[in-house]
Amino acid sequence: MTTVGAQCLLSSPNPEIWFRLPHRLNDAYDIHPVGSCLDGFGTVASFCLSETPDSAAMWAHYGSNGQGVVLEFSLASDFFYKNPPEKIQYRKKRPTVKSGHAALTTKNAEWSYEREWRCLMTLPRSSKDEHKFIELEGVVSVPFPFAALTAIIHGYDSRVSAEEFCARSEASNVEQLVCRTKAWGYGFNIRPIDDINHILEGREAALWGRRQRK
């Protein structure tokens, strides 16, 4: 999540997650198969997830260049039982309206780095439904599934505060982790927020570098 989005969510007294309609997604072809129209696919909203919290590209594109956070969820929860995630397939050929369900879960191969799964839902039929359609945003708003949340993973340059959120009784079991940059190569390590091994590793690498320059 971006810095702004994460801070708004974590500081809200009644946090929500959003299922976005196709026209609010960042891929112009997402849930937009050949031959589609608003009546067929435009009312399907999606909540997008990723398999990995340590992708450099994902942090850059969706996590404010490491300043945001990743929310880690457990699929063994009532929320995901009611909204089962679908694995996205990446193809070079665009699906058509004849593709049926595949049209909802197929994306351009260029997006394969996202390793996406998504939950799908249609627009709520009644104003009494706990799911609310926010037309201005093009989203379906759903009460935040506290029971499904297992960890908040801060970015390597996080600017997000989660202390008050984690102090809530509903979030008492949520762990705070940090995505740390590696000292000896590319990639990241996911560590507890109070772990200092990255400092020691960075110091060791810096001392090694000094010796090499002598």
Transcribe the chain into DSSP letters. Answer: --HHHHHHHHH-SS-EEEEEPGGGSSSTTTT--BT--TTTTTTEEEEEEES-S--HHHHHHHSGGGTSEEEEE-SSSHHHHHS--EEPEEESSPPBGGGGGGGGSEEEGGGGGG-EEEEEEEPPS-TTSSSEEETTTTEEEEE--GGGEEEEEE-TT-----HHHHTSGGGTTPEEEEEEEPSSSSSEEEEETT--HHHHHHHHHHHHHHHHH-
- Mean pLDDT of the 57-80 span: 96
Given a cut of 80, whether residue 129 has pLDDT beyond it is: no
Given a cut of 80, whether residue 130 has pLDDT beyond it is: no
pLDDT, tens only, 157-196: 999 999 999 999 999 999 999 999 998 999 999 999 888 8
In the sheet that 149-154 helps form, which strands lie side by side, from edge to edge? 69-73, 149-154, 175-181, 188-192
- Return d(Cα 147, Cα 33) in angstroms, integer: 35
Least Cα distance to 50 among 140, 198, 176, 179 occurs for 179
What's the domain range around 150? 3-213
What confidence category does residue 38 fall into, taking pLDDT thresholds of 50, 70 and 90?
Answer: low
Burial class (CB in 10 A: 0-12, 13-18, 19+), 174: middle
Question: Which amino acid makes up residue 30?
Answer: D
Place of tokens 């072809």: 29
Given a cut of 70, whether residue 78 has pLDDT beyond it is: yes
Is 192:177 a contact under the CB 8 Å cutoff?
A: yes
**What is the residue-averaged pLDDT of the chain?**
92
Given a cut of 70, whether residue 127 has pLDDT beyond it is: no
Q: Supply the pLDDT for residue 128.
A: 61
Given a cut of 70, whether residue 39 has pLDDT beyond it is: no
- Mean pLDDT of the 128-136 span: 80
Q: In the Cβ-directed half-sphere of 136, how many Cα atoms lie within 13 Å?
A: 0
Q: What percent of the chain has pLDDT over 70?
A: 96
Tokens of 180: 């740390």
pTM for this one?
0.91
Number of domains making up the chain: 1
Is 154:54 a contact under the CB 8 Å cutoff?
A: no
